[in-house]
Amino acid sequence: MTSEELRESGLLELYAMDACTPEEKSMIDSLLSVDAKLRLELLDIQDSLNSFSDEFAQTPPPELKAKIKSQLEFKPIAKTIAISNSGLNQNVKWYQYSLAASLLLVMGLGFMLYQSQTKLKDTEEKLVALNAEKTLLSDNVNRTSIELDGLNQQIQTIQSDAFLPVKLKGTEKFPDARLQVYWNKDSKETYVSLVNMPALPEGKQYQLWALVGGKPINAGVFDLESGKIFLSQVATPAADIFAVTIEKTGGSESPTLTDLVVIGQVNG
């Protein structure tokens, strides 16, 4: 028998499972001693069998042996059937090949099942992550929609005739700074829109001042958030001039003139 015939016969798998006859084992040993490639194939088969055994091995309960033994019944053979040695060998070989093929089939099915379970788990994890992203995106869209609705309402409010727009321009220290104030003389409400303002240092806030007869009056503090319109929490009953300074967080009782950012005259 050649190495190729051995591969096709299935005897190499039986050899790996120690299920060959002594004659077959001797023949395979001879081929393995001269065929390095065949030895590598034998190692692969043994590794596969070991992996399969580790994955699916189960220890039978100790009482199983006694149960099987008690159910076995041995009866005397009434008639001797003569079977030729050649026929017996053929039947044994057929069963050996069938056993090898069955084990390989079970190994293949077990591997396919393992792969299917792994892919299913990956798919479930991806689906959970996708649903989480979808929920987060939906929340962001809703939040953005609410913010836009609020902004549109504010814009409609400050564009009414009741509000007086006041442009505040940058000082010599902050020449590029710009800010817009919308003031309602009747309701005393003051809205602030940041057009272009410098970044705030750590622990600092902007503070709006209303100057009446040269006297500064606190009109509220706010942070740097471009694109937003702020409603001051402090009522502004009167103003000749509006100005903004950089103050400590929480505001100051009087403006820090060295950090005067923008200033503008109230007209009308």
Instruction: Report pLDDT digits (tens) over 1-22.
Output: 888 888 888 788 888 888 788 8
**Is the per-residue pLDDT at 208 higher than 90?**
yes
b vs e for 15-27, b when ≥16 Cβ sit within 10 Å of the residue's Cβ? Answer: bbeebbeeebeeb
Q: How many CB atoms lie within 10 A of CB 100?
A: 21
More confident residue, 163 or 106: 163
Cα(255)–Cα(243) distance, integer angstroms: 9
Give the dihedral of Cα atoms 228, 229, 235, 236; nearest 10 deg.
Answer: 120
pLDDT at res. 78: 47
Structural domains present in the chain = 1-51+92-112 (no CATH), 164-265 (2.60.40)
**Is the per-residue pLDDT at 214 higher than 80?**
yes
Tokens linked to 190: 């003051």
Beta partners for residue 211, in sequence order: 216, 241
pLDDT at res. 79: 46
147-161, 162-176, 182-196: segment of lowest average pLDDT: 147-161
pLDDT at res. 219: 94
Contact 104, 7 (CB under 8 A): no
**Is the per-residue pLDDT at 168 higher than 90?**
yes
**Is the per-residue pLDDT at 259 higher than 80?**
yes
- 229-231 and 190-196: which strand pairing? antiparallel
User: Could you give the percent of the chain with pLDDT greater than 70?
Assistant: 71
Local confidence band at 83 (pLDDT 50, 70, 90 cut-offs): very low
More confident residue, 116 or 153: 116
pLDDT at res. 5: 85
Strand order from edge to edge, sheet including 204-212? 215-222, 204-212, 241-248, 260-265, 164-170, 178-183, 190-196, 229-231
Q: How many CB atoms lie within 10 A of CB 247?
A: 20
pTM (predicted TM-score) = 0.44
What single-letter DSSP state applies at residue 258? G
What single-letter DSSP state applies at residue 81? P
- 190-196 and 178-183: which strand pairing? antiparallel
* pLDDT averaged over every residue in the chain: 79
Span 228-255, average pLDDT:
91
End-to-end CA distance of the chain: 113
Q: Write the DSSP string, 193-221.
A: EEEE-PPPPTTEEEEEEEEETTEEEEEEE
- Helix, strand, or coil (residue 167): strand
Inter-residue long-range contacts of 210-219, CB under 8 Å, 24+ positions, other chains counted: 210/236, 210/238, 210/239, 210/241, 210/242, 211/239, 211/240, 211/241, 211/242, 211/243, 212/238, 212/239, 212/240, 213/240, 216/243, 216/254, 216/255, 218/251, 218/253, 219/190
**Is the per-residue pLDDT at 47 higher than 90?**
no
Tokens linked to 139: 């929340």
